[in-house]
Structure formats: C-alpha cells, structure tokens
Amino acid sequence: MADADSDRQRGRPEVVITGIGAVTPAGIGRDVTWQSLLAGRSGVGPITAFDASALPTRIAAEVKGFDPREYLDHKRVRRSARFSQFAVAAAREAATDAKLQIDADTAGRIGVVVNAAVAGFDTVETATRGLLASPEPIVPNSYFVPSSLTNMPACEIAIDLGLHGPVNASALACASGLYALLDARRLILAGEADVVLCGGTDAAITPAMFAGLVSMGAMSERNDDPEGASRPFAADRDGFVFGEGSVVLVLESAEHAARRGVQPYATVAGGALTCDAFHISAPDPNGAHATAAIVQATQRAGIAPGELDYICAHGTSTAANDLTETRAIRAALGPAADRVAVSAPKSMVGHLIGAAGALGAMVCAMAIRDGIVPPTINLHTPDPACDLDYVPHVARRMPVRAAATNAFGFGGQNCVTVFCEPESN
C-alpha cells in the first residue's frame, strides 16, 4: 500500500456505494444505461430540443422519452427545471436500489449533495426570451428564479423523499458531479450523516448554450454522423458532444450498510481535488496538476497508482483534453500505465457536464461489481500521441479490484476519485 497516512491505515470506516440511479442519453434507469454502455451504443443524435439549423453544431446527447409527470405532480412539474426533474428521478431509483427506509427516525440522518455546473440555464433562457417578447415586464413562469438555482436539485430530492439531514450543492464545472461524492464522504466520516444521496445533474441543451460553445470552437460539427461524433483519443476528433442527464448514488459507511443487510457495489476509497490555475477553459498542457490529483487520490485510497485496474477517463473528445489526460495518466502511473485499461463513456453519451463525473463513478462501481468495463467507441484512427489501452469498440471482461475516474472542469478543476472492492467481497 502506497501511503502510510491513507484512510484505511488511519482506521477510518469504509464509505461504500449501496444504490445507484441514472437518467442519461443511454437510457432511463441504471441497468438500461449500463447495458447500453457495455453494448457500445451511442445516444447522440440530431437536436430535437430546439431548431439548430442555423448552427454549425446540430447534434447532442439528449435524454429521450423522459416524462417528468411520472415522478412529479402537475404543480411540481411546472415549478421545477429539467435538471431537477432528472435528479429526482435518479434519486428515487438510487434510494430504492439501496433499500433505504426513510421515516421519522432516519430522515434527519440522511443528507443530499447533488451538484450542477450550468444549473437552470434552460429555465433562465426561456424566461428571458419570454420577457423580451412580451410588452409587459412579466415572465411566463413565476418560479423560474428559484427553480434555476444550483441547489434546487438537492433540495427537490430532499422534498421528494422527506430528508432532513445536511443538504448542499456546489459548482465545479465538469468536475461537479464527482466532487459531490467526496463531499458526501466527508459528511459520513465526520458523523454528520449516516447516509448521503450524491451525484450530479444538468440539462442545458439550448440555443444560447450552443451558440456560446460553438463560438469557442469546442464542439463536434460531425452533424452527418451523430453516433460517430464523439471520438475520444482518436486522431480525427473534432470536439465534444454536449449532453444532459443525472446520476445519483447512495453513500454510507460499510458498517451502516452491514447493519441494514445491504451489499455494496464498491468502496469510495479516496479522492483529490487540484487546480491548474492556468486558464479559464483550457487545461494546462503539461498535465502536472491533473497528475497530482491522480497520485493524491490513490495515496488517500491507500493504493499505489500501479494497482489501478481501470480508469474511467474524462475523455471529452477535444484535442487538448485527451492529450493532457493521457500525459497525466502516464506521469501518475509510470510503467504501469501500459497495463491499465482506460475507457471513455463520453464516446457514447456525450458530455453530461455536471453529471459527467457522477456517471464515471457509476461506471467504476458497476465495473467492480460485474467484472467488465465499457469500451471507447469510434476509436477507428487512434491518435499516436494518445497511446494508452482505451478498450476500443468492445467491452472487456476483466477483474476490477481498484478503479479511478477523472473529472476535469473549466477553470482547471481536477477531481479524481478511487473506488475499490468492498472488504466484504
């Protein structure tokens, strides 16, 4: 084991994942999403949320077939934004999966940490358009202000499930959803909660968002081949595919889970957060601080970097990110980088923004449970400078005892979390 100061060697309790819920472009539900990822199916297609015909990018990874009325009554649907609706649906599935018993005795010890990056961007844009089109200074939906706030998905989950423990939210761009797990883990280790529902959510497929990202040159323009547009680590990658969705996980101590008779997916063994302090959108090309996050996360998990079996990559399909992430993995793992399996779910579901890191956590947990890792699709022409084992095209059966996921966000936010087999395994 790598670090004498790791949580395991301090005698801290294990924090484990006991429930998972998902609403993604791969499907509505944890198992549907997982099987779609393993099958290498793309959830990318032409934009249906708005008329994108005037834009250079006309494709996105949309959640299909989601009806908020299946989860919320009419009033709550009207008063809530899409990113909150996704989160409530995912949280309900996660709570059911974890067999949570929520009553007067337990509700005060169950918390929520669900983060978002762009939050209610769609709600604000719609309200603004309505205001500009109206002769009166009145917006169509009087709840657009509270419904668009970053903390609202976490609060909506608490309202929906009747939870009175600590509830919070923060924004770390594309690292938001993964950082939620580290926040939740701290609450449990500090004794402030017995159980925490945590993860990420976002839904901002809108004209203004796409116009802004197009002006940055960040998104793929492979409109004639939507399913092949997201191609992490490929030589012909031309940008990322914008997506939406939510993933929520249930965390609790291993001891608490054992008392409830629940079998965990995996242990949240350790994590780290660093900052490039380099640029508001571009990663530091030398990857030094992304490397530091990987090294620190493994140290805090009590494993050597070379003990990782699998890395769920950030893998955005942009020229800068994929190269920088490859360099960071190589620098952190050394010679062991040639032995680790690395794959990029964004090749199938696009970039879920605030939910992306939470999806990576789900992938790691289910890979540990099932002994299989999803592929990186569309990797037909590998970039010679991206020279790791990216599990091309087809899922791979393999033992996964330790896995990590990377989440790198605008502003240079680098979050890495390590997951291990639970001791009961």
What pLDDT does 142 receive?
79
219 and 366 part of one domain? no
DSSP secondary structure code for residue 174 in this structure = B
Q: From CA 32, how far away is CA 64, in angstroms rounded?
A: 13
226 and 361 part of one domain? no
pLDDT at 9 over 80: no
96 and 240 part of one domain? yes
Residue 415 within any structural domain of the chain = yes
312 and 254 part of one domain? no
Among 199, 232, 260, the domain-final residue is 260
Q: From CA 331, how far away is CA 5, in angstroms rounded?
A: 22
Mean pLDDT of 132-140: 76
What pLDDT does 130 receive?
85
Question: Residues 105-130, buried b or exposed e (16+ Cβ, 10 A)?
Answer: ebeebbbbbbbbbbbbbbbbbbbeee
- Both tokens of 337, joined, read 């980088």
Residue 64 within any structural domain of the chain = yes
**Helix or strand run (H / E) with residue 141:** none
User: What's the pLDDT tens digit per position in 257-277?
Assistant: 999 999 999 999 999 999 999
292 and 321 part of one domain? yes
Q: Which domain holds residue 403?
A: 270-420
- Both tokens of 377, joined, read 């699709």
User: What's the pLDDT tens digit per position in 85-135?
Assistant: 999 999 999 999 999 999 999 999 999 999 999 999 999 999 888 888 887
- 14, 13, 88: which is closest to 264 by C-alpha? 14
User: What's the pLDDT tens digit per position in 37-60?
Assistant: 999 999 999 999 999 999 999 999
Residue 310 bridge partners (DSSP): 341, 403
108 and 42 part of one domain? yes
158 and 297 part of one domain? no
- 162, 164, 159, 23: which is closest to 82 by C-alpha? 23
313 CB neighbour count, 10 Å cutoff: 29
Residue 425 within any structural domain of the chain = no
330 and 285 part of one domain? yes
244 and 311 part of one domain? no
380 CB neighbour count, 10 Å cutoff: 12
- 63, 85, 83: which is closest to 72 by C-alpha? 85
Residue count of the chain, please give it: 425
Q: How many domains does the chain have?
A: 2
- Catalytic positions are 174, 314, 351
- 323, 312, 356, 320: which is closest to 61 by C-alpha? 356
Indicate which CATH number applies to the domain containing 214.
3.40.47.10
184 and 327 part of one domain? no
- 399, 400, 382: which is closest to 390 by C-alpha? 382
Q: From CA 381, how far away is CA 341, in angstroms rounded?
A: 18
Residue pair 250/94 in contact by the 8 Å Cβ criterion: yes
Residue 3 within any structural domain of the chain = no
Among 218, 234, 260, the domain-final residue is 260
46 and 147 part of one domain? yes
pLDDT at 360 over 50: yes
What pLDDT does 140 receive?
67
